[in-house]
Chains A and B, each alone.
Chain A
Amino acid sequence: MRWLLVAIIAVCNTLGDVLNTAGMKRQGEVEDLRPRSFVAMVKRILRNPLVLGGFAALAVSFFALLSLLSISSVSFAVPATAISYLLETLLAKYILGEDVRLRRWAAATLVALGVVMLSF
């Protein structure tokens, strides 16, 4: 049961972040950090199918995380997301078209390894 929840969290987290990034880039930059800009951002999100799809995937991941937290310690929940760092970097390069070079691969790999080490 635990490993099924771990897999659901990793896949849905990755899907959610990639859809949200694509949707937010399509929507345009949040130019300033005033509350009014955030209200405008939320209004546009309600008509943005990519971000709404991202929310759905993250909601599934969130409920799986709640279940996992209720049956195991937070240290068991943390490595579940480690794999999604590498998967998301891969999709950022090939689906979102980001310029992912050695430095960003090294950063993602170090973070994934670090998250695993932290769970010991």
Chain B
Amino acid sequence: MQATSLKPLKGMKFRQGHARKTQILVLVVIFTNVLGNVSLSHGMHQVGRIVSASPLDYLRAFANPWTALGICVLVVWMLSDLALLSRADLSFVLPVTASAYVLVAIGGHFILHDHISWERWTGIAFITLGAILAEETPDRTTNGSPERRL
């Protein structure tokens, strides 16, 4: 009797815990994306022009500490993104994690004193609205593997 009455509560608790872990992964994906790309971009500008098919030219770029740091952070981003994709829909993850663009723009404005034009403010508003809209949908709408289709 007691077990039956506790069952729905347990299910709700599980779903809340599941949703919270997914939200934590979303935050890790967003922040590592921002830190990794900013660091990588800074490093590549120090390295200079590379348009080459030779892996050696890219290895030279990896010797730059900013590029190396950027790549390390992007490895963490990749792993957390894969963990997130194991739990949530791609069409949910994409708009929600696009908040990274907003962080880069706002961070540039307040830290580097970049000017933000009205077009860029509109872009920030669009992305924020898109992320909120996606966040309001269920994080997963599929059951099991999509391999039947592949």
Most B CB contacts (10 A, CB to CB) among A24, A50, A88 go to A24
Classify chain B: how many residues form its interface, as a range.
Answer: 35 or more
Task: Give the contacts of A102-120 with B (CB-CB under 8 A).
Answer: 103-104, 106-111, 113-120
> Is the beta-carbon distance between A50 and B21 smaller than 8 angstroms?
no
A 79-120 binary contact with B (CB < 8 Å = 1; else 0): 000000100110011011111110110111111011111111
Task: Give the total of A residues in contact with B, Cβ under 8 Å.
Answer: 58
What secondary structure prevails in chain A residues at the interface with B?
A: helix
Shortest distance in angstroms between B104's beta carbon and chain A's nearest beta carbon?
8
Most A CB contacts (10 A, CB to CB) among B24, B79, B82, B83 go to B82
Q: Which of A22, A37, A71, A107 contacts B147 (CB 8 A)?
A: A22
> Is the beta-carbon distance between B89 and A115 smaller than 8 angstroms?
no
A 22-36 binary contact with B (CB < 8 Å = 1; else 0): 101111111011000
| B63 interface hit (Cβ, 8 Å) | no
The 6 closest A-B CB pairs, nearest first, are A117-B123, A114-B126, A110-B130, A114-B127, A99-B141, A118-B123
| Chain A interface residues (CB < 8 Å from chain B) | 1, 17-18, 20-22, 24-30, 32-33, 37-38, 41-42, 45, 50-51, 63, 66-67, 69-71, 74, 78, 85, 88-89, 92-93, 95-101, 103-104, 106-111, 113-120
